[in-house]
Amino acid sequence: MRAPRLAVLASGTGTLLEAVLAHGIPVALVLADRPCRALEVGAAAGVRSELVERTEWSFGFDRAAYTERVVKALQDAEIDVVAMAGFGTIVPALPDAYPGRVLNSHPALLPAFKGWHAVRAALDAGVTETGTTIHVATAEVDDGPILAQEAVPVLPGDTEETLHERIKQVERRLYPQTIRRFLASL
């Protein structure tokens, strides 16, 4: 029986991907929704890196058709587990194609502060701590079984950028550890 094949979906700088690779976790595919550094990181590491470009950003965006393209690319690469790593397009049918096998990292202690601007929301709420959550993604955004969480204090004078960077430092350690445990459980 072969080891589970992992895909990492990214849209940005690829720092989470770098962390996964630095922890020695084999990645079979890097998939991005836009040209980004994460594709370069994957290619430089010898990982198949594929752009399934999202070209439409209006309300008319055909999310179902785009999701079909993403799922086809994953299936073509014989992927078993998907790790979302800052993927900027919501693909709600992806958990249906990979039930219980889509992981996501979120910069808050879920169920608090769901959505794209979680760090800003935590600051606006005046909380004294927030953090990062690794969870199994479901069709509902930032929902699903929690696999790991770690708190990060909100410090006086924090900006969205300074707080988010401290959260990312924890995330770059916690996400690879959680992915490794998850893959070993399959």
Q: Catalytic residue numbers?
A: 106
Q: What is the rounded CA–CA span in Å between residue 30 and residue 51?
A: 8
Rounded Cα distance, 117 and 57, in Å = 18
How many Å from the N-terminal Cα to the C-terminal Cα in the chain? 11
Please list, in sequence order, all residues whose beta carbon lies within 8 angstroms of the beta carbon of residue 119, skipping any fewer than 6 positions away: 107, 108, 113, 130, 160, 163, 164, 167
Exposure on the CB side of residue 14, measured as CA atoms within 13 A: 21
Contact 182, 143 (CB under 8 A): no
